[in-house]
Amino acid sequence: MSRPHAPPLRGTLPADVVSLVDHEALAATLMSPEVSAYVNGGAADEITLRENLLAWQSLRLRSRVLRPLAGGHTRVELLGQTLAHPILVAPMAHQRLLHPHGEQASALAAAMQGAGYVLSAQANTALETVARLVLPQVERGPLWFQLYLQPDRAFNLELVQRVEAAGFEALVLTVDAPVSGPRDRERRAGFGLPAGLSAVNLANAPAREVPPLAEGQSGLFDDLLTHAPTWADIAWLREHTRLPILLKGITHPDDARLAIQHGAAGIIVSNHGGRTLDTLPATAQLLPAVVDAVQGAVPVLVDGGIRRGTDVLKAMALGASAVLVGRPVLHGLANAGAVGVAHVLRLLRDELEMAMALCGCASLARNASDSAAHPIAQDAPIGVHEILK
């Protein structure tokens, strides 16, 4: 297996990088084949991975003309905070694969662009280091920590206490990956973490004892999944933290309702970027039913396949409170470190503003008295979604 390596360092971008697609193309020339497979690959045949993008592209926006747009803005309210725009950086592991500064570069870039940032539990940077870097930034967005519950509750509690003490403002609990999906592209490329790269915030997690299996038992169902989180663990976590908890990986309306019953402060509609169960529907298709089930009780965010400002606007028109962006941030990080990530986020925000203006939409607020000021997305295969009545 050849060793994955970080791309050559650069602090500027070529002039012809003007979209997230351009960032992806440039990153492909800089990443090793192994790292490219890890970043860009999905589960199995990658059907969900592809459809995440296609679903947003298949939606159409309706526009209104000659509407007053002076003073328009992209601000949104989320968990008691006012955000400059509804774009957050999704949690992504092992960012030092892309750049030596890893999460420090992407977190600082997000803060400088007013974007929320979700630090992965599998980051290569100590959570305290990221918090010290981000929290003093005046124009920053919210700073959240993504958590995979470990089998040892004492370790989970210790980690949550570190997160609280560092100043993070919410927990994002990933609930859709009790096991990893079959990452065929990664395996073909021979991907593996290079020596010296690890999930430093999980370094003290107790090693799990693996008992011998009896004849006929499954290593998955009779061992690994005996430690998988359940709704009871969500209730336990709610009792042991003062931070709001968002559940990431909700795709079914019934699970959305259960999440609220168990104290979730927010829901993230996600299929893990097409990296777990292949042939799950695209998140753009899943979002409306979850929004309908929640009935405004908690904010609903969405990720997966966001590549244009028009995608952000479509998500908002379908009822999302905000969106999270993943792979494009890694592409920007590979291309130019913090500069590249900042450019990716700025492109999305600029495109969102232009799309709003061209749709006759001066605000993303959902309580405007004149619903005609908002775009209504439609998709012939799944009908017209008139979200704003």
Span 238-269, pLDDT tens digits: 999 999 999 999 999 999 999 999 999 999 99
Q: What is the pLDDT of residue 366?
A: 65
Q: Which fold has domain 20-60+67-191+228-376?
A: TIM Barrel (3.20.20)
226-237 average pLDDT score = 89
Q: What is the pLDDT of residue 210?
A: 65
Spatial distance between the Cα atoms of 334 and 95, rounded to a whole number of angstroms: 9
Q: What is the pLDDT of residue 20?
A: 99
90-95 average pLDDT score = 99
Domain ranges of the chain: 20-60+67-191+228-376
Q: What is the pLDDT of residue 62?
A: 86
**Range with the largest mean pLDDT of 55-64, 125-134, 198-207:** 125-134
Told to judge if 272 belongs to the known catalytic residues of this protein, a careful annotator would answer yes
Whether the pLDDT of residue 221 is over 70: the answer is no
Whether the pLDDT of residue 114 is over 60: the answer is yes
Among candidate residues 354, 382, 343, the one with its CA nearest the CA of residue 15: 343
User: What confidence category does residue 228 fall into, taking pLDDT thresholds of 50, 70 and 90?
Assistant: confident
389 is in an annotated binding site: no
183 is in an annotated binding site: yes
Spatial distance between the Cα atoms of 268 and 323, rounded to a whole number of angstroms: 9
196 is in an annotated binding site: no
Tokens 């993230």 -> residue: 268
327 is in an annotated binding site: yes
387 is in an annotated binding site: no
Cβ-in-10-Å burial (0-12, 13-18, 19+) of 141 comes to buried
Catalytic residue among 23, 99, 101, 272: 272
263-282 average pLDDT score = 98
Q: What is the pLDDT of residue 34?
A: 98
Among candidate residues 343, 351, 388, 384, the one with its CA nearest the CA of residue 368: 388
Q: What is the pLDDT of residue 372?
A: 38
Whether the pLDDT of residue 54 is over 60: the answer is yes
363 is in an annotated binding site: no
Q: What is the pLDDT of residue 11?
A: 79
Whether the pLDDT of residue 381 is over 70: the answer is no
Tokens 């295969």 -> residue: 381
Instruction: Please tell me the number of Cα atoms within 13 Å of 99 on its side-chain side.
Output: 24
Q: What is the pLDDT of residue 180?
A: 84
pTM: predicted TM-score of the whole model, two decimal places: 0.92
Alpha helix segments (H runs only) across the chain: 20-30, 33-40, 47-58, 102-112, 127-134, 153-166, 184-189, 231-239, 253-261, 283-294, 309-317, 327-359
349 is in an annotated binding site: no
Whether the pLDDT of residue 213 is over 70: the answer is no
Q: What is the pLDDT of residue 386?
A: 35
Span 142-169, pLDDT tens digits: 999 999 999 899 999 999 999 999 999 9
Q: What is the pLDDT of residue 48?
A: 98
Spatial distance between the Cα atoms of 90 and 39, rounded to a whole number of angstroms: 13
383 is in an annotated binding site: no
Among candidate residues 85, 156, 80, 94, the one with its CA nearest the CA of residue 114: 85
